[in-house]
Each structure stands twice: as structure tokens, then as C-alpha cells.
Amino acid sequence: KPYAVKPTSTIVAEAIGATPKLIAVDMEFACRAGTTGLQCVMGLVVSGMIDYGMAIGADTSQGRPGDELEYTTGCGAAAFILGRDTQNSVAEIEASSSFVTDTPDFWRREGEFYPQHAHRFTGKPAYFRHIVEASKLLMEELGLKPSDYKYVVFHQPNIKFPLRVAKMLGFRDEQVKPGLLSPIIGNAYAGSSLLGLVAVLDVAEPGDRIFLASFGSGAGSDAFSIKVTEGIRDKRLLAPLLKTLIDYKKYIDYALYVKHRKKIRLK
């Protein structure tokens, strides 16, 4: 985010002309912040406090030079507008469930420039445990199984983790790959799973079910069951597809990357 102390949500609200009568908040929970924002907007809409709300997952990931995090880092953002108007929607969120524990797999202390991580500890007790538990909770609640979904999107810190957790839950690779963006753009942290959802919505058809599960270190996972509606046909092409935006890219060398990311630091 551009400021350590100043909300980013107010900048977005001003830019889209939504101020001043609104609720605006910045949220933090590692790579889970975007989907938690989605849940909060859902609650406000369902309670009747608001008619429409926008949840944004945006991040610029960090990695110490030479660290294994560095070659998987990426950046990106995705925004979703939620409301009760089902006639004009592109999809319906059927339900959501979360699983959260105090698991210190990844952290950055005050004043530190780069995050630290617990290497293999970020896998089984963190990423896999939380996504599996949140996903099972939701499917049990709805009485659904992996075969009831056309697509599945998981948080994507790398290529292997989402494919592996899919197999653990009983999903097939064919359900994962349409939303698997980490091989192309890297790990967009809070934008990761939501960008995968965007990619899937760009190819989904009415009636398709999408399973979404995020993960944020610290640690927690939010799972969603989403059903695509007829509105997707008319609204999909009102904006550029995600693939078009990704194709409109420019590669730079590592020297320029470390310059712009201010990684060349003198002690």
C-alpha cells in the first residue's frame, strides 16, 4: 500500500466518486485479506446496512533478494461489487465458511523491510491444513462434493500447492487449471485467489459452480461456493478479459526490477 498510516480505501472511494456517505476500511490478514473483505461486504449487504459494496483484493508481494519467495512474487488486484440485485448479477455466492488458527508460518515485524517465513512449515500445518478444513466445512454445510463444481480456485503461492491441495480434497486438475495464474503472474498475495476467480468467470457459463478457497498466513482460509448466473453472458465483455490484460505486459530485467522495488539498500 502507498502509505504505512493512511487508508487506501478512501483513495479508491474518491476516485470512483463514492464519497462521502459510505463505509470504507482497509483490511489486513496476509493473502486472505481480499476474501475476508468479501465476507464483510456480504454481511453488510445481507443485514440491509448497505445496498451495494465493493471488496478489493490488492497486493504487491515481497521477497528478500535470493530468497525462494523472490522468484514467485507478483502483484495484482481484483475488485467485486456485491448487492442483493440478483437480476443484474453475474454470479451468486451460495455460502462461505472460514477456518482460522494462530499459526506463525510467515511474518514481518515492525521496521523490517522483508518478511520472514518458516520454510516447510508454511505447507502442511499452514496452507494445506487451513484450506482443507475450511473447504470441508463449507461442502459439508451445503451437502456438496468436489464433482458438483465445474471450477475450483485456491490461493496460489506457487504452482504445486493449489494442485496438491485440490487432489487432497478430491478435485481434478481440469477443475483447477482455468484459474491457475501463478505460473504466469506469480503470487499476487491478497489478489491471488480473487484474480483466479476473475479468470474463471471469464470462461464460465450460467449454472456452473465455482469453489473458491483463499489462504492467509498467520493463519486462515475463507471458502466460498459460487454459482454463475445468466447475467454473465451480457456483462462478461463489458470490460477487457483478464487474459487480455495479462497479454498486455512488458518484461523488464532484474536490475530494473530491484531499482523500482527499492531493493538496493545501503546499511
Q: Which residues contact 99 (CB under 8 A, 6 or more apart)?
A: 130, 133, 134, 137, 220, 221, 223
> Tell me: the pLDDT tens digits for 66-113?
888 888 989 999 999 999 988 889 999 999 999 999 998 887 888 888
Cβ–Cβ under 8 Å, residues 201 and 91 = yes
Percent of the chain clearing pLDDT 90 (strictly above): 80
CA dihedral sign of residues 135, 141, 144, 150: negative
Q: Name which residue leads in pLDDT, 194 or 1.
A: 194
Domains assigned to the chain: 9-247 (3.40.47.10)
Q: Exposure string (b/e) for 7-41, b if CB count within 10 Å is 16 or more?
A: eebbebbeeeeeeeeeebeeeebbbbbbbbbbbbb
Q: How far apart (Å, rounded) are the C-alpha atoms in residues 15 and 266?
A: 36
The one-character DSSP state at 17 is T
Amino acid 32 reads R
Intra-chain end-to-end CA distance of the chain, in Å: 24
Kindly report the average pLDDT of the chain as a whole number: 94
How would residue 2 be classed by pLDDT, with cut points 50, 70 and 90? Answer: confident
pLDDT beyond 80 at 118? no
Q: pTM for the complete prediction?
A: 0.95
> Tell me: the pLDDT tens digits for 14-69?
999 999 999 999 999 999 999 999 999 999 999 999 999 999 999 998 888 888 88
> Tell me: the pLDDT tens digits for 206-244?
999 999 999 999 999 999 999 999 999 999 999 999 999
Phi, psi angles (nearest 5°) of residue 239: -140, 160
Q: Which residues contact 8 (CB under 8 A, 6 or more apart)?
A: 1, 2, 26, 58
Instruction: Report the run of H or E that residue 242 belongs to, with start and end.
Output: helix 242-247
Q: How far apart (Å, rounded) are the C-alpha atoms in residues 196 and 203?
A: 11
Q: How far apart (Å, rounded) are the C-alpha atoms in residues 216 and 226?
A: 20
Give me the pLDDT at residue 110, please.
86
Q: How far apart (Å, rounded) are the C-alpha atoms in residues 232 and 209?
A: 13
